[in-house]
Amino acid sequence: MSYAASPHWRTYQPFLPEQLRCDRQHQPVEELWAWNDHQVHLDRHVDHDAPAKMIALHGAGGNGRLLASVGIAAHPSAETVAPDLPGYGHTRLPDDTSTYTYTDWIACVEALVDAESARDDRPIILFGASIGGMLAYDVAARTPRVQGVIATCLLEPRDPEVRRAVVRHPTLAHGIPLALALGPLLGRVRVPIRLLANVRAIANTPELAAACLTDPLGGGNRVPLAFLTSWLRSQRPLPPEQFSTPVLLVHPGDDRWTPPALSQPFLRRIAGETTYVELDNCGHFPVEEPGLTTMTQAIHNFLEQITGKRLPPT
């Protein structure tokens, strides 16, 4: 299957700014990349002349096509590759009974960084949306091939405040210890992500949130408990006090799912160079103005910093 043959993603388009819609002019090239018995689906926004390469990582309510807007916004500063991470989009698991964990997501992205580095020598930047932000951090902490991290959120899953925010209702956070205890027994059981996580808050526009919530390849997906418990248990491979890769946090200012106060403490602990940009009027899925223009310019400036090149204006 491909996004050309599965049209649900098109329901997002009317609610996106016109310049970020994935139309014929901005249609990404679809690829399958073999990794560890998986067929990982990639959306590639091809630009051989771009001085940088950006790998865009979705969260638990998305997929690679949902981040097409990021690839369009980064053009012409970066060629963007957006994978469907295991369990999402059109990535094919080894068989129908396969499960996957957050550790698999880390390993998949790290291998993708290696594969993209082998294609050419352009600097690689990771862009992470929602829990993809900390995923970008975790991968960058493991490999020197990543030269910069851009994130919309930096959510530490062991933080009790983060746990209360991400679940569908704060009272569900009280059940997390039980879920962690049952994880080894029920890890293969798949649960609709919308029953556990507050996916309705993925966007401030109700119609856009509904489109995400009903996407069977994204927010309407079922995920194994093994993935959820592994994310909740995950530890950073390098403490932020030892992390030196440059980080840009472009946090939506009107994020009704994971407000900026949840990400700022982790950002402040990072030893390397960090930049914080708040996106005025933007929800968790940042598509509103004026924050959208602010984000586009911040990404442009960050890529100029990483590449050391003067890039075409946005």
What pTM, to 2 d.p., does this model score?
Answer: 0.94
Query: What is the sign, positive or negative, of the torsion defined by CA atoms of 298, 302, 307, 310?
Result: positive
Six-digit token string for 309: 């090149």
CATH architecture of 7-157+239-307: 3-Layer(aba) Sandwich (3.40)
Q: By mean pLDDT, which of 1-10, 20-29, 145-154, 172-181 is the weakest?
A: 172-181
Six-digit token string for 58: 């979705």
Q: Is the pLDDT of residue 128 over 80?
A: yes
Residue type, 277: V
Q: Is the pLDDT of residue 174 over 60?
A: no
Q: Is the pLDDT of residue 101 over 90?
A: yes
Q: What is the pLDDT of residue 183?
A: 64
- Sequence spans of domains, the chain: 7-157+239-307
Q: Is the pLDDT of residue 166 over 90?
A: no
Q: What is the pLDDT of residue 256?
A: 96
Six-digit token string for 224: 């194994």
Q: Is the pLDDT of residue 286 over 80?
A: yes
Six-digit token string for 185: 């027994």
Query: For residue range 63-83, what is the model confidence (pLDDT) as tens digits?
Result: 999 999 999 989 888 999 999
Q: What is the pLDDT of residue 82?
A: 98
Rounded CA-CA distance 285/70 in Å is: 11
Residue 313 per-residue DSSP state? P
Q: What is the pLDDT of residue 196?
A: 80
Rounded CA-CA distance 230/259 in Å is: 23
Q: What is the pLDDT of residue 170?
A: 64
Q: Is the pLDDT of residue 180 over 80?
A: no
Residue 69 and residue 22 in contact, taking contact as beta carbons nearer than 8 Å = yes
H or E element, residue 252: strand 247-252
Q: Is the pLDDT of residue 25 over 80?
A: no
Q: What is the pLDDT of residue 7?
A: 83
* 138-148 average pLDDT score: 97
Which residues, 6+ apart, have CB-to-CB distance to 23 below 8 Å? 13
Rounded CA-CA distance 97/94 in Å is: 8
Six-digit token string for 35: 């990794």
Query: For residue range 188-245, what is the model confidence (pLDDT) as tens digits?
Result: 888 898 888 888 999 999 999 999 999 999 999 998 988 988 998 899 999 999 999 9
Residue 188 per-residue DSSP state? T
Q: By mean pLDDT, which of 96-100, 108-112, 146-150 is the weakest?
A: 96-100
> Sorting pLDDT into bands at 50, 70 and 90, what band is 278?
very high
Q: Considering the chain, what is the average pLDDT of its residues?
A: 91
Q: Is the pLDDT of residue 296 over 70?
A: yes
Q: What is the pLDDT of residue 244?
A: 97
